[in-house]
Amino acid sequence: MKNLIKPYWILLTVTLPQLLLFGLYSSSFSIIKSLLSPQNLYYWQAYGLILGSAWGLATCYSVWATIRKKNINAYFSFIALSFYVPILYFFLADQHKIIPGSVPNWMLSTSDLPLYVLTFLMPAIFHSVLRLVVFFTPGNTQHPNWWNFGLVVAIPVSWYLLFTIVLPAINQGGINKPLFQHIMLLIFACSTVVFFFFLIRGVYSVSITRKNFLSGQYQLLWQIPVFVIFPVAGLYLNQDLGMVFGNFAEPVFYGLAMANGLLMLIPEKKIGNDIIRLALFTARSITFSYILYFFWVFLPLLPFSIIAILIIGAGFLMLTPVLITILQANTLRLSFIHLSARFSPAIVIVCLLGGLTVLPLWVTQSYRQDRKQLHEALALVYAPNISESAHQLTNINPNRIKRVLKNVHKNKGRTSQNGFGFGFDAKQKPYLSTFYKYIVLDNLTLSNKKIRALHKIFLGTNVKQSDHTRTRRFVVGPSHSDQVTIDSVQVKSSFDAAHQYWRTWVHLDIQNATKRQQEYRTKFTLPAGTWISNYYLMMEGRKEYGILAEKKAAMWVYNNIVSRRRDPGLLHYTEGNQVSFKVFPFAPEQTRKTGIEFVHKEPVQLTIGKHTLTLGDSSQQKSLTQAISTHQGVYVSALTKQQAPAKVLKPYLHFVVDLSAQAVKDKAMYVQRIREYLKKYPQHKAGAKITFGNFAYKSIALNEQSRWEQQLHDFPVQGGFFIESMFKRLFVQPAPKGTYPVAVLVSDHLDKAVFEHAMAGFAHQLQGSRYFYALKPDHTLSSYSLLHAPLKKVKANAAIPANKKVREINTLSGMLLVADNDQASFYTLPKGGKGVPQISKNAWNNGAELWSFWQYYLLHPNDRPQYKAFVHRNNIIKGSFQAHIMSPVTSFIAVENEAQKAALKAKQEQILKGNHLLDAGEELQAMSEPELWWLLGILGVFFGWKQWQRKQKMQSGLHQ
């Protein structure tokens, strides 16, 4: 401990921790400053000046002492202790004045700022106490220790008597209670410092005294409890109390506690072989990092240890990490001195530092493995390069995915407040979970929806709902009703003759006809070649234009705002050309005004709610009779399609066979079913193909030359039946000339298949195909939609169409086959969507450019080298910002104040730096009005029943 007088300890305990604390508060202040009152700003300035000045003086003193080769003066430690104890108390007491309750937690850099105040200020206090202990405990004399430990016992006993006898009597008098409370709390804080001073002094005296009752043959009497029993008992007590300090229930924590205890029990002085002593020194260094972790975990809670001792009989176990840290550090110091005399000091230092880094490196490597597995799984599911190959083979191990998903679920969630008022969550490990989210989740999260999907895809089973709801906060999204509708619409179109496109504003008056606060929500489908270029929402008499932001960030901000009943509006793409539109809140019987601007190539019809609108005026523009080529794509009007020559495509069957874990005994039956179907309908044999698999799969020709039966038999059965990925590859791969694929599923477990997102975004590749089919055991077919609710049966006893008619469109890049319908279409050219979007002054061309890049991204989401993956998506986002055109990866959001805008910007920067396949947060589970009334009814019945029980008890008491 005598090394604690070196000036570099000030840098480690004051300069660095408080610099991190300043960073946390500074990042929060940059977001919430517009929400702070003059009084709040005064407290920010006052504490910033006080703490900043102290930080600067301490740092300067450390630098001066280092240059002058001086040790830390005891007076400095006394002054630091006298300063930081009251400042810590007042800083925590004034948190509500620094950050008022009106500021939502989601805007802060972390919701656990009080915890981090303790985390980053306590090192300065603790170091000052240790320095004073060293100063007041000369090492060359013998000291009676009984009075040190006597005072340690006397302080909690005194407070117990004070709380139970003295304070109740004083409270009866007419005293200034707020002032009295401040005085008592300050005295309590000071007595806590005194408590730790004498506790540490007593332990330190024991560790440096060579001959006493607690050394020699009697040392096991205290070593076994301190090094073995107390750590294990503390872990068990924490688990028994519902893991109030964090999740330390895993066997590895108990194992390391036992291992460290046993290593500390080994009588080092009786070992004559110095190599063995060096090995023991290294082993103790390894487990010492485990002890230091718990010391760091409990350091912020040390001021409350006396309370824990008074409330919980075993609360003294909170002190175990402090005691072991002091004793083990001194043991390592003595071992270091001994070994340095027998080996090169460099070797001993390497053993010490190497040992201390073993567990941190092991944890980091374990987290990196989780990251690798998780990100590979996410890329396989949500961003496969489906145009490159008809196969999807992978080395992902389902058992490792199971472990990773379990770890992610434990570590991903937000911390919750426990009984001690700090952010230790029963599912998380303090600090380690934060580190886990940084390494594995890029400081983002993985939604429960995606966890369930990955579980189903790679393991073939559903996640237990209790696993997700056990720690989930009960947050009800805004209620919505069919009675919140568009009351009136005003359409204003203008034609840009220079660039040959339309701009149309649609102004909406939306009315809430109910007696309750509601959210308006609807979905509408944009006509092909129509883009959204602006949006506004009237807020308190002013027109607030929407901010074009990254989609996940905008949705995260919207969900957080509506959970606080504030004032946002949101527009974003869902699937294909479908757009979600939300406005909140609507007061009872309120009418609100909002508007959306569209750019489109020709007059089109748009349906929003129950209103069908005409955008543009056909009398001001000639009809488009030819395809309009852009830099990366081509726009084909409905008239152009109708005038184009038709072509007939013949179907070929593409069987998709379920080899998930559910079908482990079904291989032979599926093969027989396919053979019998083709025997019954021999016309479908020609050109038939087959894909078999689960989350991994293989596609081959269905003929004797391919030995498809043997390959199917040899393919491993595992995981879930991931139809969605198979279908995307199936329809994207080029079909033989003059043909088109018809997908036929072969599975008896279709209810357990995974097909979460319909193929509305792949209209170009589908070329008008709308259905896939499932082959039943009786050799009949049932049809299912490719575009909507894909696992919901459309028709039983369906028939495969004999052929399909398409249209041939002549473009500058060659012949293009398009769906035969009366709707306009926009197609990306085969080589379109590469590089960086070219943004010009032509708004419609900019929208076409962004859409071409998006279509290319759907087929090639991850075609860049590692560390540059998904840069294509970020290019779309940047292009969207430059063009001010909404894309499928951006959203328009209208917010009411500058703080919300700052929070949006901060979250957007965070998302753009991370893996976009992760999530910004959980989606709110919105509750419709009938569901809400059911919930209120259930709560009413429950409280009525409790009231009836209370009355019954009162009546029975009166009768008695």
Q: Of all residues in the chain, what percent carry a pLDDT higher than 70?
A: 86
Residue 551 token pair: 């989609």
Residue tagged 């390894």 (tokens): 286
pLDDT at 28: 93
Q: What is the pLDDT of residues 794-828, one digit of tens each?
A: 999 999 888 889 998 888 777 888 888 888 999 88
pLDDT at 678: 92
Task: Read off the pLDDT band of 30 (50, 70, 90).
Answer: very high
Average pLDDT over residues 450-465: 86
Strand ranges of the sheet holding 501-512, from the earlier edge strand across to the other edge: 484-496, 501-512, 591-600, 530-539, 542-545
pLDDT at 909: 93
pLDDT at 932: 47
Q: What is the DSSP string of 725-769?
A: HHHHHHHHSPPPTTEEEEEEEE-S-GGG-B--S-SGGGHHHHTT-
pLDDT at 217: 67
Which phi and psi angles does 425 have, rounded to 5°?
Answer: -100, 145
Q: What is the pLDDT of residues 671-726, one digit of tens each?
A: 999 999 999 999 899 889 999 999 999 999 998 787 899 999 999 999 999 999 89
Q: What is the pLDDT of residues 363-394, one digit of tens each?
A: 999 999 999 999 999 988 988 888 776 677 77
- 8-state DSSP, 176: -
Among 383, 392, 390, residue whose Cα is nearest residue 734: 390
Residue 394 token pair: 């992978």
Q: What is the pLDDT of residues 322-363, one digit of tens each?
A: 889 988 998 999 999 999 999 999 999 999 999 999 999 999
pLDDT at 742 over 80: yes
Q: What is the DSSP string of 310-354?
A: HHSTTGGGGGHHHHHHHHHHHHHHHHHHHHHTTS-HHHHHHHHHH
| Cβ contacts of 150 within 8 Å, gap of 6 or more | none
For the chain, the average pLDDT equals 85
pLDDT at 575: 87
Average pLDDT over residues 912-941: 65
Residue tagged 């924490």 (tokens): 238
- Helix pair 345-382, 398-412: axis angle to 10 deg: 100
**Lowest-pLDDT choice from 413-417, 595-599, 673-677:** 413-417
Q: What is the pLDDT of residues 492-550, one digit of tens each?
A: 999 999 999 999 999 999 999 888 888 899 999 999 999 999 999 999 889 999 999 99
Residue tagged 């020609």 (tokens): 686
Residue tagged 């609100």 (tokens): 592
Residue tagged 């002190």 (tokens): 319
**Lowest-pLDDT choice from 402-416, 577-591, 861-875:** 861-875
Q: Any bridge partners for residue 826, and if so which?
A: 635
Query: CA–CA separation, 54 vs 120, rounded Å?
Result: 14
pLDDT at 940: 59
Among 36, 39, 118, residue whose Cα is nearest residue 84: 118
pLDDT at 765 over 90: no
Asked if residues 447 and 923 have their Cβ atoms less than 8 Å apart, the reply is yes
Query: CA–CA separation, 275 vs 282, rounded Å?
Result: 11
Q: What's the angle, vertex CA 933, arms to CA 929 and CA 939, rounded to 5? A: 145
| Cβ contacts of 183 within 8 Å, gap of 6 or more | none
| Cβ contacts of 298 within 8 Å, gap of 6 or more | 245, 318, 321, 322
Query: CA–CA separation, 546 vs 400, rounded Å?
Result: 43
Per DSSP (E only), the strands in 825-913 are 825-828, 890-894
Average pLDDT over residues 79-86: 91
pLDDT at 478 over 80: no
Among 265, 264, 295, 334, residue whose Cα is nearest residue 196: 295
Q: What's the angle, vertex CA 319, arms to CA 314 and CA 320, rounded to 5? A: 90
pLDDT at 887 over 80: yes
Residue 588 token pair: 């009872």
- 8-state DSSP, 832: -
pLDDT at 881 over 70: yes
Query: CA–CA separation, 49 vs 58, rounded Å?
Result: 14
Q: What is the pLDDT of residues 268-311, one digit of tens each?
A: 888 889 999 999 999 999 999 999 999 999 888 887 777 777 66
pLDDT at 102: 87
Asked if residues 61 and 10 have their Cβ atoms less than 8 Å apart, the reply is yes
- 8-state DSSP, 111: T
Q: Hey, which of 253-262, 578-587, 768-777 has the most confident mean pLDDT? A: 253-262
Among 854, 610, 624, 819, residue whose Cα is nearest residue 731: 819
pLDDT at 10: 93
Asked if residues 393 and 696 have their Cβ atoms less than 8 Å apart, the reply is yes
Query: CA–CA separation, 946 vs 928, rounded Å?
Result: 27
- 8-state DSSP, 778: T
Q: Any bridge partners for residue 573, and if so which?
A: 579
pLDDT at 37: 94
Tell me whether the omega of the peptide bond preceding residue 7 falls within 30 degrees of 0, making it cis: no
Half-sphere exposure of 442 (CA within 13 A, CB side): 19
pLDDT at 470: 47
| Cβ contacts of 792 within 8 Å, gap of 6 or more | 784, 785
Residue type, 300: P
Question: Residues 13, 17, 22, 25: what is their CA dihedral angle, to the nearest 10 degrees?
Answer: -130
pLDDT at 471: 45
Q: What is the pLDDT of residues 238-260, one digit of tens each?
A: 888 888 888 898 999 999 999 99
Q: Any bridge partners for residue 596, and if so which?
A: 506, 535
Classify the C-alpha dihedral 367-373-377-378 as positive or negative: positive
Query: CA–CA separation, 908 vs 364, rounded Å?
Result: 27
Can you tell me whether residue 693 is helix, strand or coil?
strand
pLDDT at 198: 83
Q: What is the DSSP string of 378-401?
A: HHHHHS--TTT-S-B-----HHHH
Q: Of all residues in the chain, what percent carry a pLDDT higher than 90?
A: 46
pLDDT at 903: 93
Query: CA–CA separation, 828 vs 752, rounded Å?
Result: 34
Residue 163 token pair: 């709380």
pLDDT at 184: 74
Q: What is the pLDDT of residues 178-232, one digit of tens each?
A: 676 767 777 877 888 888 888 888 777 776 665 555 556 677 888 899 999 999 9
Asked if residues 506 and 491 have their Cβ atoms less than 8 Å apart, the reply is yes
pLDDT at 929 over 50: no
Q: Give exposure, 688-715, as e/b (b: 16+ Cβ within 10 Å).
A: bbbbbbbbbbbbbebeeeeebbeebeeb
Among 209, 195, 654, 121, residue whose Cα is nearest residue 390: 654
Half-sphere exposure of 358 (CA within 13 A, CB side): 16
Average pLDDT over residues 592-607: 95
Average pLDDT over residues 114-132: 89
pLDDT at 928: 46
pLDDT at 176 over 60: no
Can you tell me whether residue 608 is helix, strand or coil?
strand
Residue type, 416: S
